[in-house]
Amino acid sequence: MTKQKSFFSEIMPSLKGCWLVTLLCPVFMLGEVVLEVLIPMMMGEMIDKVQTLLEQSATADVVFAEIGATCLLMVIMSVVSLGCGFAGAALSARGGTTFARNLRNDVFSRIQSFSFYNIDKFQTSSLVTRCTTDVTNIQMVYTMLIRICFRAPSMLIFATIMAFVRGGDLAWIFAVSLPVLGTVIGILMLKAYPRFSKMLKKFDKLNENVQENLTNIRVVKSFVREETEKQKFFNTVTDVMNSQYSAEILMVFVMPIMQLVMYMTRLAMVGIGGNMILIGSTSLTVGALSSLLTYTVQILSSLMMIAMILVNVTTSRASAERLDEIFKEVPDITGGDSTEKIESGSISFKNVNFAYAKDSDNYVLSDVNLEIKSGETVGIIGGTGEGKSTLVQLIARLYDVSTGEVLVDGRNVKDYPLKTLRDAVAMVLQKNLLFSGTIEENMRWGNPDTTQEQIEDACKKAQAHDFVTSFPDGYQTELGQGGVNVSGGQKQRLCIARALLKDPKIIILDDSTSAVDTATDEKIRYQFEHGLKNVTKIIIAQRIASIQNSDKIVVIDNGKIADVGNHDQLIERCEIYQEVFASQVKGKEEGGDVNG
Amino acid sequence: MARGGGFQKGMEKPKNAKATFVRLMSYLKPYLGKMICMVLLIVLASLANILQTMVLEPIINVIKGEPLGAYQWLADLVAPSGEKMHQFWALVIVMLSIQLCGVLGSLGYNWISTRVTTKVLRQLRLDMFSHMEDLPISYFDQRTHGEIMSTYTNDTGMVRELLAGSFPSIVQSAILVCGFVVAMLINNWLLTLVCFVQIGANALLVKFVGGNARKYFARQQKSLAEVNGYVEEICAGQKVVKVFTHEPQVLEEFDKRNNEYRKNAFKSNVFGNSFGPIINNVSHIFYAIIVALGALMLVNADKTTNTFSLWGVFSVAITTGSWVSFLEFSRRFSNPFSQLAQVATSIMGSLAGGERVFQIIDEKAEEDEGYVTLVNCKEVDGQIQETTERTHQWAWKHFHKADGTTTYVPLKGDIEFEDVTFSYVEGKVVLKNISLYAKPGQKIALVGSTGAGKTTITNLINRFYPLDKGKIRYDGINVEKIAKDDLRRSLAMVLQDTHLFTGTVMENIRYGRLDATDQECIEASKTANAHFFISHLPDGYDTMLTADGANLSQGQRQLISIARAAVADPPVLILDEATSSIDTRTERLIEKGMDALMQGRTVFVIAHRLSTVRNSDAIMVMEKGEIIERGTHDQLIEQKGQYYRLYTGAFELD
């Protein structure tokens, strides 16, 4: 319950701009409800009036005059009530959609403020579901809440009041039936909730099972395991069936129980009330009895509505919790407020330790000390998962060090505003992406004010210009989502060009030319060396050839810097470097022998 | 990604609603008895609903002391004494019994419908899955996983709506509408006519409001899809957004789409939300009219002499009781109509969902006309004989239709491609006139850049795709004649993306051969160099692997998949050994495992590091679907062609 409560306080800001609507809407709803409740009373009075007129043997004209006015009033009331209803509908639509927009915006902006650490925690697919399906679920509940949440209880209250006013002697029947109904429904709900959450878990299992088979279909087929998989799936769906049945069967009871209570209440009214009229022990009239019957329906159906809201709120609880997690997640990296510009690309690591999990000493990097001078070219080499990418990501503050510090241009990276820092440090990530839009639009990510000339220049440096101009639409070529319209190597080159356009002081290539052929790779390296003299270049590579000519090569092993030096020094003294070199280059040299 | 889920599909219309409906109904066949029971119970519940209102008439008339008219017989039946008090209480008891019947009826039909629905859903999912497992690989190439998965949950969910919600609701509404009309006509034909006018008015309103609501709803869904699409793309590239501090621009773009969505959603909601109030209040107006008319009739009925009055038209038989109970009817008369209107839209959605379910079930399964099967055999006097014993010796059982003889060819692992041409999509040839052979025990390496067709070659050997032209022979038999399952049993693959299953490490290794003993699995993992790390896992071989082995490193997963292939112990092995994301040192460990596995088998290896290719018996250099060079390492170096260039680093593979 506390979780729910705090969720509401989290989404409060999303209500900005809908307060007026949220407050006005119930006013109109209330108007509609009051009129709706008054109508059965007038009807009952009309029945009694007709009875009296009959007893007085009035003529048709008199009857018409007497009841005509009441009828007209009822019609007018209906029209007013219609107006109120329409206004309520329009206002609730306005409120609901505004709220949804705000909420979606808040969730999305929140995600934008997340650091890599936060993103890793949630994973992409889960972020997407939260921002789409979960928001839609909450929106539905909100719209329902403002439409029904005021309407149903106020209907319940007014109808109950009217029932007591009109049918004093019989109203106690409600005092019995309402609590009975409330208790029974409450118990069912309480019992249903754990069963429904169990059902949802089984559905997750179902999804997992299907997903697994989709990704593994080639394995299933090549080992001819279709029958085994079918058997597994049979167990999964049987679980789903049983859990769904056990949850829904409880809901099956809700409607008939409501019906039973409603029927019994009406029956009690007719039986007890009728008996009273017959033995003449009451002032109750047939008109009053008839309007009481209508009130029964109104009271119980508004109770039913409330129950329905509860069901919906319960089922959307999972969504609320998931959104809550987003709001609760504290973006762990915020920029500093230094106004200093970054003038040089010097970098230094001082006693840096880093662990992905907070408060953990399971360090991915430990005791890292490294000095990089502005304008240097630095190669980084080492095994997968040894910490190469992590090391460079600390420079752009994509992650924060656990202990120690990273300095750029002599200042701790934490001092700079993120924009200043990241504009100065351009990174081409290992898993890089282009976005839907034209090539030119993608290039402008680096800098929105870039001229066409600058774009072409950067693309030339990244060896992308030639293939871009070979496309029929050149720089206006549509890339499609994730850049599906270009090959892996082309994508990498475009990503490098995009990073160059930031005009950075430091550029980092994290294994960014793995799909580029050696000759092109070499050209890119040449351009880097000669065209980016004042820019610090950090290159992570699997291939020794890509970093062989660097000023400095950093060998990372098991989260530690094993050695730093140039190619010749390392080949002399660093065992790991020798090993990697041997595995990659030996063949080449033998090839050379054949040649020679 | 489960893109689209339910939200984009809500308004979709089924292409062939009738056929889908009939087909869904066929799933109810096993429950025919239950369904009949259910319909009967719905009838019972609906009739009770009507009857209990009808009984109100004599009860009130007894109270008012007015004539019972058509209900006199009922009063006489239940209270023969004719005494007022007796009549009253007897009628109340009649009402009570009718109501109890109604409650029991609705409880019963809901119960049955839940039971049947959950079972039918299981059957649908099972049918889908069983069929999916039999679909050709090309099916999976053409669709996203999200698309298929959404069918298992969202679309079947929509079918559930139909079976558990719409179907009972239609039956009930239909009975209620008929019942109400009959009951109202019995009660008072003139007032019934007024009710018909009301229904007409409602229908017009529903058409106008509903039409607009639908139009804007479609727009709303479209802009919602745009918002969601954008979210998906940005979240996928979130890290790139961060690196470029592109957040403000992204937020602005998002805001544009989000506002567009709000605009359309607002219009759609205004129409959608005003539905209820409109129907409600229109019925109030008619209610007032009926009250007034009823009152006039009552007066006229009382004053039979007043014949020349203008109001004389309304001299239809009426009592206070029938008036009150008619008012009850008129208030509830419009309910089944609005219920039907609601159901109508949801049925279309459900059928569209059902249609997608059946699309999977109707998808053409992998064809298999193979009749040559793999059997255990033993050699008796130099003759190969089929046996049911597990001899670890296998032979192809080949029945020749022409002369009615059966021959047995021992399983050796001899593969031959003869002039094979293949395309995934018609007109886009991926492999052109490929001919090659691999003798038992030989190692054939395929090299070339991405898209050259290396993986395609291996996919053809196990008949994942049908050939356009040419033949592939396994031990001299055209693979098309070999039953697919048996063909695949005689091959094992280690793919570049390792896929493991939820279950223990042992179960994953045993996936290669289900009857392998624990000892055999452990032996296999020793062969694959995997035993060491497995025995260091928290629960050793009993360690549970979560979805796709996420709790292991990629190298470890690859080792398990090698062990899995080792357990299968087939004569032919296909290794797609892309290890681009594995570092050299881990790769060396894997290589050792692979080398052990290759011993004594025919191996096709897609090699990415040329150092692993050198000791192959033959190297095929592929480019654009053709083998441009072939030979041993030394021969190819001699030729100074593409292989030479690759080898000397003038050109690098990706």
Which chain B residue has its CA at the smallest distance from A39's CA?
A: B284
Our CA-based measurement puts residue B491 at a distance from the nearest CA of chain A, in whole angstroms, of 7
Distance CA A441, CA B319 (A): 80
CB contact under 8 A, B227 and A50: no
B590 lies in the same domain as B500: yes
Q: Classify residue A298: in a domain, yes or no.
A: no
A392 lies in the same domain as A248: no
Is B619 in contact with B589 (CB distance < 8 Å)? no
Backbone phi and psi for residue A496, each to the nearest 5 degrees, phi listed first: -65, -45
Q: Three-state DSSP class for A21?
A: helix
Residue A255 contacts B, CB cutoff 8 Å: yes
Look at residue B316 in the predicted model and tell me its pLDDT.
63
A444: tokens are 């402008």
Cα-based distances in Å from B150 to B6, B157, B206: 8, 10, 32
Look at residue B306 in the predicted model and tell me its pLDDT.
47
Look at residue A356 in the predicted model and tell me its pLDDT.
76
Q: Which residues of chain B are within 8 Å of residue A221 when distances are taken between CB atoms?
A: 137, 462, 464, 488
Among A422, A427, A445, which residue's Cα sits nearest to residue A342?
Answer: A422
End-to-end CA, chain A: 80
Higher pLDDT, B595 or A391: A391
B221 lies in the same domain as B157: no
Is A174 in contact with A163 (CB distance < 8 Å)? yes
B353 lies in the same domain as B436: no
Residue A61 contacts B, CB cutoff 8 Å: yes
Q: Classify residue B652: in a domain, yes or no.
A: no
Q: Which residues of chain A are within 8 Å of residue B224 when distances are taken between CB atoms?
A: 136
B279 lies in the same domain as B223: yes
**Which of A137, A384, A394, A479 is the best substitution to test chain B (most B C-beta atoms within 10 A)?**
A384
Q: Classify residue A252: in a domain, yes or no.
A: yes
Which chain A residue has its CA at the smallest distance from B307's CA?
A: A60
Look at residue B177 in the predicted model and tell me its pLDDT.
87
CB-nearest partner of A214 from B145, B227, B274: B145
What average pLDDT does the structure give for chain A?
81
- Boundaries of domain holding B69: 1-176+345-365
Say if residue A100's pLDDT is above 90. no
Look at residue B33 in the predicted model and tell me its pLDDT.
94
Which chain A residue has its CA at the smallest distance from B288's CA?
A: A71
Q: Three-state DSSP class for A546?
A: helix
CB-nearest partner of B92 from A60, A104, A270: A270
A131 lies in the same domain as A178: no
Residue A521 contacts B, CB cutoff 8 Å: yes
Mean pLDDT by 10 residues, chain B (654 residues): 36 75 91 93 91 85 78 80 82 90 92 92 92 87 74 83 87 88 85 84 78 80 82 80 83 90 87 78 81 77 52 64 82 78 77 88 86 86 80 85 86 91 82 90 83 82 89 92 89 79 89 89 88 85 73 77 88 75 65 81 80 81 86 86 70 46
CA atoms within 13 A on the CB side of B363: 23
Our CA-based measurement puts residue A297 at a distance from the nearest CA of chain B, in whole angstroms, of 10
Look at residue B272 in the predicted model and tell me its pLDDT.
78
B146 lies in the same domain as B49: yes
Say if residue A112's pLDDT is above 80. yes
Mean pLDDT of A21-33: 81
Is B487 in contact with B462 (CB distance < 8 Å)? yes
Q: Three-state DSSP class for B598?
A: helix
Distance CA B254, CA B248 (A): 10
- pLDDT by residue (tens digit) across A471-514? 888 899 888 766 666 777 788 889 999 999 888 899 999 888 77
Q: Classify residue A306: in a domain, yes or no.
A: no
A71 lies in the same domain as A117: yes
Distance CA B223, CA A112 (A): 21
A419: tokens are 């924009």
Distance CA A424, CA A446 (A): 11
B373-380 vs B383-386, strand pairing mode: antiparallel
Interface of A with B in 204-243 (CB under 8 A): 206-226, 228-230, 233-234, 237-238, 240-242
Is A277 in contact with A286 (CB distance < 8 Å)? yes
Interface of A with B in 39-58 (CB under 8 A): 39, 43, 46-47, 50-51, 53-54, 57-58
Interface of A with B in 74-93 (CB under 8 A): 74-75, 77-79, 81-82, 84-86, 88-90, 92-93
B548: tokens are 């796709």
Among B283, B291, B51, which residue's Cα sits nearest to residue A290?
Answer: B291
Q: What region, left, alpha or beta, does residue B600 occupy, with left being phi > 0 and alpha being psi -120 to 50 degrees?
A: left
- pLDDT by residue (tens digit) across B591-622? 777 788 888 889 998 876 666 677 888 999 88
Our CA-based measurement puts residue B195 at a distance from the nearest CA of chain A, in whole angstroms, of 16
CB-nearest partner of B133 from A230, A286, A588: A230
Q: Classify residue B428: in a domain, yes or no.
A: yes
Is B476 in contact with B360 (CB distance < 8 Å)? no
CB contact under 8 A, B586 and A384: yes
Residue A345 contacts B, CB cutoff 8 Å: no
Look at residue B115 in the predicted model and tell me its pLDDT.
92
Cα-based distances in Å from A6 to A11, A102, A177, A312, A332: 9, 18, 35, 19, 21
Q: What is the domain count for chain B? A: 4
Q: Classify residue A303: in a domain, yes or no.
A: no
Which chain B residue has its CA at the smallest distance from A98's CA?
A: B262
Contacts for B604 with CB less than 8 Å, ≥ 6 apart: B415, B438, B444, B446, B457, B458, B461, B572, B573, B574, B575
Distance CA B611, CA B590 (A): 14
Degrees, nearest 5: CA angle B35-B117-B146: 150
CB-nearest partner of B140 from A206, A214, A245: A214
Evaluate the CA torsion angle B248, B250, B255, B256 in order and state its sign.
positive
A355 lies in the same domain as A320: no
CB-nearest partner of B651 from A32, A518, A584: A518
Residue A272 contacts B, CB cutoff 8 Å: no
Which chain B residue has its CA at the smallest distance from A241's CA?
A: B118
CB contact under 8 A, A81 and B102: no
Q: Which residues of chain A are within 8 Å of residue B583 when distances are taken between CB atoms?
A: 382-386, 542
Q: What number of residues does chain B have? A: 654
Look at residue B425 in the predicted model and tell me its pLDDT.
77
Q: Which residues of chain B are within 8 Å of residue A271 when distances are taken between CB atoms?
A: 89, 92
Q: Output the CA torsion A255→A256→A257→A263 (10° steps).
A: 110
B437 lies in the same domain as B383: no
Q: Which residues of chain B are within 8 Å of residue A214 when distances are taken between CB atoms?
A: 140, 145, 148-149
CB contact under 8 A, A249 and B62: no
B481 lies in the same domain as B607: yes
- Boundaries of domain holding A503: 347-595
Q: Classify residue A129: in a domain, yes or no.
A: yes
Q: Classify residue B295: in a domain, yes or no.
A: yes
Query: The domain spanning residue B524 has which CATH number?
Result: 3.40.50.300
Which chain B residue has its CA at the smallest distance from A501's CA?
A: B244
Cα-based distances in Å from B255 to A104, A444, B265: 9, 20, 15
Mean pLDDT of A551-565: 88
A151 lies in the same domain as A256: no
Q: Which residues of chain B are within 8 Å of residue A422 when distances are taken between CB atoms?
A: 242-245
Look at residue B501 in the predicted model and tell me its pLDDT.
84
B361 lies in the same domain as B386: no
Q: Which residues of chain B are within 8 Å of residue A149 when distances are taken between CB atoms?
A: none
- pLDDT by residue (tens digit) across A181-196? 888 878 887 888 788 8
Strand partners, A426: A507
- pLDDT by residue (tens digit) across A315-354? 677 778 878 888 888 888 888 888 888 888 899 999 999 8
CB contact under 8 A, A211 and B299: no
What is the ipTM, given to two decimal places?
Answer: 0.79
**Which of B139, B245, B309, B619 is the best substitution to test chain A (most A C-beta atoms within 10 A)?**
B245
B422: tokens are 């293949």
B443-447 vs B602-606, strand pairing mode: parallel
Say if residue A442's pLDDT is above 60. yes
CB contact under 8 A, A101 and B258: yes
Look at residue B470 in the predicted model and tell me its pLDDT.
92
B158 lies in the same domain as B53: yes
A531 lies in the same domain as A440: yes
Indicate the range of A115-119, A290-294, A538-542, B145-149 predicted with least confidence.
B145-149
B292 lies in the same domain as B426: no
Say if residue A378's pLDDT is above 90. yes
CB-nearest partner of A101 from B111, B259, B554: B259
Distance CA B207, CA B213 (A): 10
Distance CA A534, CA B277 (A): 71
Look at residue A125 in the predicted model and tell me its pLDDT.
66
A323 lies in the same domain as A359: no
CB-nearest partner of A433 from B240, B245, B300: B240
A137 lies in the same domain as A230: no
A206: tokens are 């179902």
Q: Which residues of chain B are within 8 Å of residue A255 when distances are taken between CB atoms?
A: 106, 110
A52 lies in the same domain as A153: yes
Say if residue A84's pLDDT is above 70. yes
Q: What is the domain count for chain A? A: 3
H or E element, residue A408: strand A403-408
A322: tokens are 């998931």
B127 lies in the same domain as B249: no
Strand partners, A587: none
Residue A533 contacts B, CB cutoff 8 Å: no
Other residues' Cβ atoms within 10 Å of the Cβ of residue B84? 14
Q: Classify residue B470: in a domain, yes or no.
A: yes
Say if residue A257's pLDDT is above 60. yes
Look at residue A406 in the predicted model and tell me its pLDDT.
93
Indicate the range of A63-67, A242-246, B321-325, B486-490 predicted with least confidence.
A63-67
User: What does DSSP assign to residue A536?
Assistant: E
Which chain B residue has its CA at the smallest distance from A115's CA?
A: B242
**A-B C-beta contacts closer than 8 Å:** 438
Evaluate the CA torsion angle B162, A129, A330, A142 in order and state its sign.
negative
Across the beta sheet with B383-386, what order do the strands follow?
Answer: B383-386, B373-380, B394-400, B405-410
Distance CA A90, CA A445 (A): 41
Query: The domain spanning residue A85 has which CATH number?
Result: 1.20.1560.10
Distance CA A521, CA A549 (A): 13
Q: Three-state DSSP class for B158?
A: helix
H or E element, residue B407: strand B405-410
Q: Which residues of chain B are within 8 Å of residue A147 when distances are taken between CB atoms?
A: 273
The predicted model scores a pTM of: 0.73
Cα-based distances in Å from A380 to A427, A543, A575, B182, B587: 14, 10, 15, 88, 19
Mean pLDDT of A252-258: 82
